[in-house]
Amino acid sequence: MSLSKLLESWPAVRQLREGDPLGLGRAVQSPRSRTLVPRIDEAEHVVQSVCPFCAVGCGQLVYVSDGAITHIEGDPASPISRGRLCPKGQASKSYADSPLREYKVKYRRPYGTSWEELSLGDAMEMIADRIIRTRADSWEWKTEDGNPANRTMAIGNLGGATLDNEENYLIKKLMTALGVVQVENQARI
């Protein structure tokens, strides 16, 4: 290496020559860091989403490659959050691929001492059968006072504050048609 090249590669010189006097940009790049690119650059597509935690409603950008989420960050276009996310929102990707995430149905039989495997299809059939049975066994046409009731008081449904409007809509619609009135969610708490 010639002396001039050696001199030019000296960081202090580079800082001055490359217009980076504070040494915070190009001047301190190594060959490796010069070739690094943000992982979002490699994403196949990006989806606009909304943070699932509190009700501020921050915008999120979800980056996807090969059918998997590669990154989630704040959406600068949102007039509410302007690109910011709190620690929970920033950890959304880790929430979606948590090491504790469950991917399979688990079944515990009455008086059982461990979880067992069950297919999703069988679980759905069994749950539908139990609703039909419990509902039939407990149906109330009238209250004790003889007023109309048209309901079952032996089934309840809990949850909704973390769900989508469309999901809550189907829950209330289905449960009302089944005569289930004990439909509640975290808004009560």
Partner 1 sequence: MPSLGTSFGRGGATTFQQDLQNADCIVIMGSNMAENHPVGFQWVMEARERGAQVIHVDPRFTRTSAMATKHVPLRAGSDIAFLGGIANYILQNDLYFREYVEHYTNAPVIINDEFADTEDLDGLFSGWDPEEGEYSVESWMYDGMEIHGSAGQREQGFKPTKGEASGHGGHGGGLLHGEPPAEDRAMQHPRCVLQLLKRHYARYTPEFVAETCGCSVEDFVQVCETLVANSGRDRTSAFVYAVGWTQHTVGVQTIRSAAIIQQLLGNIGRPGGGIMALRGHASIQGSTDIPTLYNILPGYLPMPHTESYGDLDRYIEANTSPTGWWGHFRAYFVSLMKAYFGENANADNDFLFKSLPRIDDDNSAYWTVEQMLQGKVKGYIIAGENPAVGHANGKAHRLGLSRLEWLVVRDVVEIESASFWYDSPEVESGELEPEAIPTEIFFLPAATHTEKDGSFTNTQRLLQWHWQAVEPKEDCRSELWFYFHLGRLIKQKLADSEDERDKLIKALRWEYPTHSGIQEPDAEAVLQEISGQEIESGKFLSGYPELKDDGSTLCGCWIYSGCFKEGINQTARKKPHWEQDTYVADEWAWAWPDNRHLLYNRASADPDGKPWSERKRYVWWDAGEGKWTGLDSPDFEEDKPPSYVPPKDAKAEDAIAGDHPFVMQADGRSWLYVPQGLEDGPLPTHYEPHESPFGNRLYSQRANPRRQQNKDLAEDPYNPVADEPGADVYPYVVTTYRLTEHHTAGGMTRSVPYLAELQPQMFCEVHPDLARDVGLEHGGWATIYTSRSAIEARVMVTDRMRPVRMDGREVHQIGLPYHWGKRGLITGDSANDLAHMALDPNVHIQETKAFTCGIRPGRRPRGADLPRFVAELREQARSRLEASVAEPPMSGRTSRTPSAPGGRREEDPHVEPEEARKPAQ
Of residues 87-146, which lie at the interface with partner 1 (CB under 8 A)?
Answer: 87-92, 94-96, 98-115, 118, 120, 123-132, 134-139, 141, 143, 145
What x-and-dash track marks residues 24-43 binding partner 1 by CB under 8 A?
Answer: --------------------
**According to CB under 8 A, which one of 16, 25, 26, 150 is a site residue for partner 1?**
150
- Phi, psi of 154, deg, nearest 5: -100, 0
Which amino acid type is present at position 89?
G
Nearest CB to partner 1, comparing residues 31 and 117 = 117
- Phi, psi of 105, deg, nearest 5: -65, 140
Stretch that binds partner 1, among 5-13, 14-22, 27-35, 50-58 (CB under 8 A): 50-58
What x-and-dash track marks residues 159-188 binding partner 1 by CB under 8 A?
Answer: xxxxxxxxxxxxxxxx-xxxxxxxxxxxxx
Q: Which of 14, 110, 153, 46 is nearest to 6 (CA)?
A: 14
Nearest CB to partner 1, comparing residues 29 and 49 = 49
- d(CA 89, CA 59) in angstroms, rounded, equals 10
State both tokens at 51. 């943070």
- CB of residue 9 to partner 1, shortest distance in Å: 38
- Residue 50 interacts with partner 1 (CB under 8 A): yes or no: yes
**In a 3-state reduction of DSSP, which class is residue 173?**
helix
Q: Which contiguous run of DSSP H or E holds residue 95?
A: helix 92-96
Nearest CB to partner 1, comparing residues 28 and 84 = 84
Nearest CB to partner 1, comparing residues 28 and 91 = 91
CA 94 to chain CA centroid, Å, is 9
